[in-house]
Amino acid sequence: MNINNIKKSQKRVYVGYSSSLNIQLYGKDNLYPQRMRNLIQSSHTGGACCERYQTFIEGNGLNNTEFSEYVCNRAGETVDDIFRLIAHDMAMHHGFALHVNYNILGEIVELSHIPFEACRLEEETDDGSVVFINYHPDWTGHKSRKGKYIQVTRENTKKIYTFNPRREVVQAQIIKSGGIESYRGQILWFSMDGKWEYPRPIYDKVVTNLSTDEGLDNVKYRNVRNNFLVAGMLVHKKGTSLGIDENGNALDEKSNASSISESLDIFQGDENACAIMDVTVEQDEDKPEFTRFEAQNFDKKFSMTEESVTKSIYIAFGQEVFYRIIEGSLGFSTEIMSEAFKFYSSYTSSPRRAISRALKRIFEHWKEKANPSDDYEIQPLVYQSNEK
């Protein structure tokens, strides 16, 4: 069998064009990054792996601690504050966006982070470049201001120039915008999938596993909280026992003879486990009899699925070594953990280098020498043992 005979796979990220907004759609509904964020946050395994991925991208912070404490915008944020937000977007979306403001001389005077999921590319020009990034605070249209939803329209979308720090370009843009007061600055938009390519996060390849992981959690929750966990049923002749209600109070004969189906919820869930159901029969010759119930445990039916799903998610993040440590096949020691940290620090070196290059590009055109050392490297994360 060759490639022409196998079932055709769907494109992972649909990129279309919206004439009403003049943007390249990020997914069929233009909400691909938002949907992926919701998916990873709904999976406890995926969420933990993504947090570890972010932690290793962030490492021990910038080499130059003095530069990391440099205040870079009017909100009082430091370079380190911006760096942490970049690491989050890189882990969550495989890309990031940074906004810069200029002075009249064409020098960068301010750096701010922009949520990557809030940015959309404008349609490419004939030479394959993108002139504007379109920014909207919430492409789902659910965010509100002053009691009104911010609808996704051209009027509510800001068009901001893409990053080009050449002084003559910046000054031409300032003039075209009507002066420095009207100039919105530029956005450095970066994608790990390539220039002007909407990125797929590292976990895109396991979307079905992430959804399954969420479903397995729901099954386990319902198994414990909603399962029929009654210990057994006591069947006796009428008048032998009056029973008790859910509050522990004695039932009168009329209430005790009512339909069992009306109070089945008393015997469901972990808080009512091991209760005894009291059932009254009409014939005097029927003797009291206790019937045991075996609760249906659904966890065992999905144990193989859960193991396979968890392993697949760890593999997607390149975290096989941590999976093996957790399951016990590698053991646990300072040496093993140190080697695991070295391995994953190497695995995450590419996004760290991308962040370093972006910061260098910006501060090379800063209004002053903010980083005299010219060191923008990020320290890799090292395992710190408590052993002495």
Place of tokens 């490492």: 59
How many CB atoms neighbour CB 306 within 10 A? Answer: 17
**What residues does 18 pair with on adjacent strands?**
23
Q: Where are the alpha helices (DSSP H) in 178-267?
A: 207-225, 253-256
Query: What pLDDT was estimated at residue 241?
Result: 46
- Pick from 15, 70, 9, 88: which is nearest to 355 by CA? 88
CB 71 within 8 A of CB 228: no
Query: What pLDDT was estimated at residue 98?
Result: 99
CB 13 within 8 A of CB 6: no
Query: What pLDDT was estimated at residue 3?
Result: 67
- The encoded tokens of residue 331 equal 């053991």
C-alpha span between 114 and 70 (Å, rounded): 19
**pTM of the entire predicted model:** 0.81
pLDDT tens track of the chain, all 388 residues?
666 777 777 778 899 999 999 999 999 999 999 999 999 999 999 999 999 999 999 999 999 999 999 999 999 999 999 999 999 999 999 999 999 999 999 999 999 999 999 999 999 999 989 999 999 999 999 999 989 999 999 999 999 999 999 999 999 999 999 999 999 999 999 999 999 999 999 999 999 999 999 988 887 777 666 665 555 565 555 554 445 555 656 555 555 545 444 555 555 555 555 555 555 655 655 556 656 656 666 566 677 888 899 999 999 999 999 999 988 777 778 889 999 999 999 999 999 999 999 999 999 999 999 999 999 999 999 988 766 5
CB 63 within 8 A of CB 47: no
CB 360 within 8 A of CB 376: yes
